[in-house]
Amino acid sequence: MMAAKPRKAFGKKGGAASRWPYLLGALVVAAMFGAALYLQYVKHEEPCPLCMVQRVIFIVIGVLFGVAALHNPRATGAKVYGLLIGLLSFVGVGVASRHIWLQHLPKDQVPACGPGLDFMLENFPMSKVWQELLHGSGECAERGWTLLGLGIPEWSLVGYVALGVWALLVAVRRK
User: For the chain, first and last CA: distance in Å?
Assistant: 31
Instruction: State pLDDT tens for residues 3-46.
Output: 555 444 444 454 445 788 889 999 999 999 999 899 889 988 88
Q: What is the pLDDT of residues 117-133, one digit of tens each?
A: 666 667 767 777 666 66
Cβ atoms within 10 A of the Cβ of 148, count? 6
18: closest CA among 165, 126, 138, 173? Answer: 173
Tell which wins on pLDDT, 141 or 148.
Answer: 148
For 66-101, what is each residue's pLDDT tens digit?
A: 999 998 888 888 888 889 999 999 999 998 888 888
Q: 18-173: what fold?
A: Bromodomain-like (1.20.1550)
What is the C-alpha to C-alpha distance for residues 54 and 127, in angstroms, rounded to an integer?
A: 17
pLDDT at 12: 46
CB count within 10 Å of CB 136 equals: 23
The rounded distance, in Å, linking the Cα atoms of 23 and 19 is 6
> Percentage of residues in the chain with pLDDT exceeding 90?
29
Q: Where are the domains of the chain?
A: 18-173
pTM as predicted? 0.73
